[in-house]
Structure 1
């Protein structure tokens, strides 16, 4: 393999979330493992040097920043193909669900999920139109598709049968820094963030799809049943349609027990995760659900939704609840609070289950997909 081009738009140090982490973890391994290959990293704005992890990376800044539908088309279909002409890469990796409809370079497209098909109200209207119109065109144009769970693979095949034969699964994983903490360190984290109390942890953007409102309702029921001093920590940035959530939170009965942390780096999140009484992940829809594996790897039990990919990713190592059934969610919170034996069983099961997901395996599988495409 002489040259691989990577759309690196989401490698951004200030807001590294799911898409960006997936690309960074896989490609920092591929760059190291394949020094014979030149990797062209294509950014749409100034980049952080931390992402240039090898001398075989050629970083390119290709303006303008792709921030809306028209700029997406111009960047993908005009600017990037023009820039890549002189490099003639064997493969162009498009990790964010969008592809170029004009380039002749073989493309590998990563589609994390089809959330816009299942919950269109959670998508800004201009983005929704773009997804609906262009997703089938992207899937037809590209030669290979990678997705992050068997659930998403089946979902793609159901909605776009023509794409089934060229779709493979490469799982997400958790970073090595998500690991258990000794008792004293956990107590220090509780003192720092939760006034010394135990706490449930919610990780995800404040956005309707992540279902924070129903979690707050379930937390109210839990408080009514248990009369405990349990806190709820919320780690996530203000994403979209968050005003209603924030307004309700202002008048929330247990507002003093809810701690908003905003977006936090991995270095901050990792000990917070390891010290949590449980992770509560009640999302309406996920293509994977990385925090579930991060919690399990940290020795923290998990309560998550029974929808989307989450039953597949959580396996039998978590408690499940319907995301729209606040009483069922509260019952699972009560169970994990009252039954210490069950909680410890979940912790041990989670540690074992999380070993099924690791970035080295994912990088190897991704490289196989690149090689297969280059041979076509």
Structure 2
């Protein structure tokens, strides 16, 4: 059997930015089913760091320009032409975009439904395009995957046609996340912060991840407590986040900011496990993967309140009011100075059911595609 996969998002997958969700699921599906062939359709040259599984072949269908109409042309004309040429038996849209002009049986993966919200940094026309087209994709798809029951309910409210063909994939945590012994933790701190304790934020430099309010809250902590605590930002800059990145040059406490781009999985896992605490600032994820990762590493979490954060962290997370910047600053100060609070949060990690790896999600996808 030959399975076609849209690999637009896989080409930009990074552990800190996206959680590598698409890559993890597709790569493990390839490894679990060496008897099948996979065609990965890219809209740009395959990144040099991306090593394809032995039974996967890249098909590059170049996108002429990043404009919306060029994307529409690519999706409804260039991609169907390539699918007709290579003739896969089924097609899996890992990026949530279906080529409606293709007659090949298609399946849809929806990482999140943020297009239903007003998300900072996302072009309005792109959000409107997704709002208009995703319902058509849902009607066309033979099967749909989401990452949480809450996301499934939100999807059914948006598109009742999803009923009966939507499945919830179990979230996964990469196997590299685990607690570090004291000596290793100290070595990681020495390498990245000169031995100083730090908060870690795992997210792309993008307005939707609330990096700017976080920097203001961190400034408040530094002014109040006069500590040497550092803030480690792990994630790549996006076009929408370039202004935030540029502002770091004039940030008053810039010497206490450590920004790490292009971190691989092993580095991210070490940085997470060595942190004093994680700060989770994203509100529109379907599943709060960084929260799960921190708890697996036995690292406490301060999170801007959201359904995804509550679903992942339950009573092991200190939540802040998303509408109140001062509350975020207060909670960071509490996490820093209240050892009893921190110890309670660490004890509560034992009450949280943490997911395993991505193998189960990959197998569920394969079962539906190959039945």
Number of the residue aligned with 1:110: 109
Worse-superposed segment, 345-354 or 146-155: 345-354
Q: Distance in 2 between matches of 1:108 and 1:365?
A: 13
2:121–2:241 Cα contact (<8 Å) kept: no
1:181–1:275 Cα contact (<8 Å) kept: yes
* 1:1-376 aligned within 5 A: 2-12=1-11, 21-47=20-46, 48=48, 50-54=50-54, 56-64=55-63, 67-85=66-84, 87-246=86-245, 248-347=247-346, 349-350=348-349, 353=352, 355-371=354-370, 374=371
| Deviation for aligned residue 1:319 | 1.6
Task: Identify if the C-alpha distance between structure 1 residues 295 and 65 changes in structure 2 by more than 3 Å, giving closer, same or farther.
Answer: farther
Task: Identify if the C-alpha distance between structure 1 residues 13 and 221 changes in structure 2 by more than 3 Å, giving closer, same or farther.
Answer: closer
CA offsets, 1:249-295, max 9 Å, x none?
Answer: 44433332222223422232221111110110122322223211222
- Cα RMSD (Å) of the superposition? 2.6
1:146–1:167 Cα contact (<8 Å) kept: yes
2:302–2:319 Cα contact (<8 Å) kept: yes
Q: Please state whether the residue corresponding to 2:4 is helix, strand or coil.
A: strand
* Stretches of structure 2 lacking an aligned partner (at least 5 in a row): none
Task: Identify if the C-alpha distance between structure 1 residues 200 and 363 changes in structure 2 by more than 3 Å, giving closer, same or farther.
Answer: same
2:17–2:236 Cα contact (<8 Å) kept: no
* Stretches of structure 1 lacking an aligned partner (at least 5 in a row): none
2:16–2:203 Cα contact (<8 Å) kept: no
Q: Please state whether the residue corresponding to 1:286 is helix, strand or coil.
A: coil
Task: Identify if the C-alpha distance between structure 1 residues 14 and 133 changes in structure 2 by more than 3 Å, giving closer, same or farther.
Answer: closer
| Deviation for aligned residue 1:90 | 3.2
- With normalisation by structure 2, the TM-score equals 0.89
Q: Distance in 1 between matches of 2:350 and 2:25?
A: 22
Q: Distance in 2 between matches of 1:67 and 1:31?
A: 29
| Deviation for aligned residue 1:87 | 4.8
Q: Distance in 2 between matches of 1:130 and 1:362?
A: 28
Q: Distance in 2 between matches of 1:9 and 1:198?
A: 37
Task: Identify if the C-alpha distance between structure 1 residues 178 and 66 changes in structure 2 by more than 3 Å, giving closer, same or farther.
Answer: farther
Q: Please state whether the residue corresponding to 1:122 is helix, strand or coil.
A: coil
Q: Distance in 1 between matches of 2:86 and 2:170?
A: 30
- With normalisation by structure 1, the TM-score equals 0.88
2:42–2:59 Cα contact (<8 Å) kept: yes
How many positions carry a matched residue from both structures? 370
Q: Distance in 2 between matches of 1:17 and 1:4?
A: 28
2:15–2:263 Cα contact (<8 Å) kept: no
Q: Distance in 1 between matches of 2:70 and 2:206?
A: 24
Q: Distance in 2 between matches of 1:23 and 1:363?
A: 10
Task: Identify if the C-alpha distance between structure 1 residues 65 and 369 changes in structure 2 by more than 3 Å, giving closer, same or farther.
Answer: farther
| Deviation for aligned residue 1:78 | 2.3
| Deviation for aligned residue 1:363 | 1.5
Q: Please state whether the residue corresponding to 1:12 is helix, strand or coil.
A: helix
1:110–1:147 Cα contact (<8 Å) kept: yes
Task: Identify if the C-alpha distance between structure 1 residues 343 and 120 changes in structure 2 by more than 3 Å, giving closer, same or farther.
Answer: closer
CA offsets, 1:33-60, max 9 Å, x none?
Answer: 2223222222233325854212x32332
